[in-house]
Structure formats: C-alpha cells, structure tokens
Amino acid sequence: MTPAAASIDFSAMELVPHPSASLNSMSLNVSASGHVAMNQRLYEQVVKRVPSLDLEFRIRADCTLLALRISDSPTYKFPKGGRIKDAAFSRRLVSAGISLPARYAMTWDPAANAWVGTLENTVQSSMARALEKSLKSTVKQKKGQ
Amino acid sequence: MRRPPFRSGEQEQIDAMIETLRRRSAAALDKEEFTSAVWLAYYEADSSYHLFEGCCDWDAYLHTRLNEAIEALKCERNRRMSVESRFSLNQPVGRSQRPAIDVLFPMQGDFTRGIDFWDYMERLGSPKYNMVRGFCRRDSDQEIMTDLHMAAPEFYQLKWELQADMWKYLRI
C-alpha cells in the first residue's frame, strides 16, 4: 500500500508534541563540583521579581522536588549571576541517591509564590551507586573537553 | 599548578596508608610498582578533587581514586600474567642474565628524534631531565630517588607531571 492511496483517519492518530527545548525552559543545575546554578532563563525570571536574589530555598526529604520561594524571611541568597558553590547541598543529593550533575526543571507556581523544580535525573538505588555514577560522568565530561 | 609542600607528618601518613592498602588488598603485587601507581593516583586525585568536591569529602574521594588505581594495576597484572611466565621478554637469556628484551631490542635510537627528545627534556628542568635519564637507564624508582637525593613526594609529583609532559611531547 502506498501512503498516497491510504485513507487516513487523523483522529485515530496521536499527536507528537514538539520536544521541549532545554534552552527555553527554566532549570536549576547542580554540578559535581558543588555549584548550584540557575540557568539564564530562570535567572532572568528570578532577578526580575527578586532583584536581591534573597529567597527561601526548600527541598523535599527525598530531594526530588525543590522550591525557590519568595518570602519575607528569606534564608538563602544567591550571588549575582545566580550561581553559588554549596558542596553541602550537592553532597546531600548524592546521599539521597541522586547522581551529579543533576537538573531540576523549574516552573513558576503563583499559588505557592515560588519556582518549583522537579528532578530530571533518575534516583539511584544507593548513595554508593550515585557517587560512582557522579565520579564517572564528570570524568567523561573532563575527557571530552 | 603544583600543590603546596606536605605539612609535617603528612608524608608519613600517606606512606602508612599506602602500606596498609598494599597489605590489605595487593600483597601479591610488586611493591615498587604498587607504591608508584598509588602515589601517582594520589597526585591525580589531589589535582582533580575540585571537580568533584560537591560529590563527597576528600577522604572518600581519595579512597575511591586509590582503589580505582589499585584495581587497574591488578587488571594490568592479570593481563601480563601469561606474558610474564615462560615467554616473557623479562626472562634472562642464556648465561648472560640479560633480559630477552635487551637482546632483541637493544637501546638505540633515531639520532634526530633523540636530539628533539632530549632538547624537550632539558626544557622541563634539570630534576625532570635527570629523572628521565634514570628511567632510560632502567633504574628503579628507589635508585633514582637515591641518586638525585629526592624525597618520595617530590619524586612522585614530578613523575606524575612527567606523564602529562610526555603526552604533550607526543602531540608535538
């Protein structure tokens, strides 16, 4: 059967969505060197609402969900540029079985008055496995440079 | 960038750690080869830790990297096991007690490349130059350290740097 001759029922076919371009989406990235960095898009959004970059930074116990919340009593200050070195935080992710680099896809939640991020990595079975994967992935990046 | 000199007692701690690791996990390996590989892994870890300090603390990182180096050494040894048996080029030939590799491939080089090579080595400074002279004479690490009056940390740091220098040389 040639495609031209086929009678097509479009309603029976699923729509393939356009891939979401990571450059256009907001994200918070955590590197193996311990840097926590907003991407450009997120930074622009945050700095527009909170020029001081003073925020309330919260994370769920399993580290798969986090929030950067606009608050009257902020607890976490990102420096200009939206990138901070926080090895204690990144090690906490590894302890929770998340290998580095980790990426949290962020969206603005008006009800919570916060940017909420969900983890894009797979959670590893154990801290040892996450550590092993983190060390290997960064070696690959280093060799690729 | 070269690391700051060891603090008092630090070298002894590392020596003790290497000896403990050797006894625990690699007693069958050649002691000098093991010591050299672990010291080189130590410097590699020291230079790369900043890339990984968000993953774990220094002790855990060093432990991981040293164990990787030991595993690599064991794999290499296992690979060579058959070679080093009856057909090894390190086996002495006849009554001369010279290894087969010396007889089959005597040390002689290409004149032009030799000039290039030693010119490059001279530019690396006299400590490295003298170390390479020693390696070319097939001296052991210990013999070179004794000849050049070098302490182990300095020797292994220079040896580690020489690896990178040799890769650069091969790319020229």
Does residue B41 sit in the same domain as residue B125? no
In a domain, B97, yes or no: no
- Determine whether the interchain pair A94/B56 forms a contact, defined as Cβ–Cβ distance below 8 Å: yes
Q: How far apart are CA B162 and CA B152, in angstroms?
A: 15
**Which helix (H) or strand (E) element contains residue A54?**
strand A54-59
Identify the CA nearest to A108 among candidates A97, A117, A100, A99.
Answer: A117
Contact status of A121 with chain B (Cβ, < 8 Å):
no
CA A17 to chain B, closest CA, distance in angstroms equals 36
Assembly ipTM: 0.71
Does residue B69 sit in the same domain as residue B115? no
pTM score: 0.67
Does residue B55 sit in the same domain as residue B8? yes
Q: Which residues of A touch B52 (CB under 8 A)?
A: 32-33, 134-135, 138
**pLDDT surpasses 90 at B90:** no
Give the residue on B whose Cα is nearest the Cα of A131.
Answer: B55
Mean pLDDT of A5-20: 80
Half-sphere exposure of A41 (CA within 13 A, CB side): 14
Give the residue on A whose Cα is nearest the Cα of B60.
Answer: A131
> Angle CA(A118)–CA(A121)–CA(A122) in degrees, nearest 5?
110
Does residue B12 sit in the same domain as residue B42? yes
Sign of the CA dihedral with A50 first, then A54, A55, and A61 last: positive
In a domain, B113, yes or no: yes
Does residue B83 sit in the same domain as residue B114? no
In a domain, B96, yes or no: no
In a domain, B75, yes or no: yes
More confident residue, B87 or B94: B94
Of the residues B55, B90, B125, which one is the last residue of a structural domain? B90
Contact status of B51 with chain A (Cβ, < 8 Å):
yes
Of the residues B31, B65, B90, which one is the last residue of a structural domain? B90
Domain total in chain B: 2
Does residue B85 sit in the same domain as residue B143? no
Does residue B86 sit in the same domain as residue B120? no
And the tokens for B118? 């030693």
Does residue B73 sit in the same domain as residue B10? yes
pLDDT tens for each residue of B21-77: 888 877 777 888 888 999 999 999 988 999 999 999 998 999 899 989 998 888 888
Does residue B36 sit in the same domain as residue B112? no
The angle, 0 to 180 degrees and rounded to 10, between the axes of the packed helices B10-25 and B31-48 is 120
Nearest to A91 among B50, B54, B64 (CB): B54
In a domain, B99, yes or no: no
Residue B2, pLDDT score = 58
Give the end-to-end CA distance of chain A in Å, rounded to a whole number. Answer: 49
In a domain, B171, yes or no: yes
Residue A144, pLDDT score = 44
Range of the domain at B111: 107-172
Contact status of B47 with chain A (Cβ, < 8 Å):
no
In a domain, B41, yes or no: yes
Residue A28, pLDDT score = 95
In a domain, B126, yes or no: yes
CA A8 to chain B, closest CA, distance in angstroms equals 53
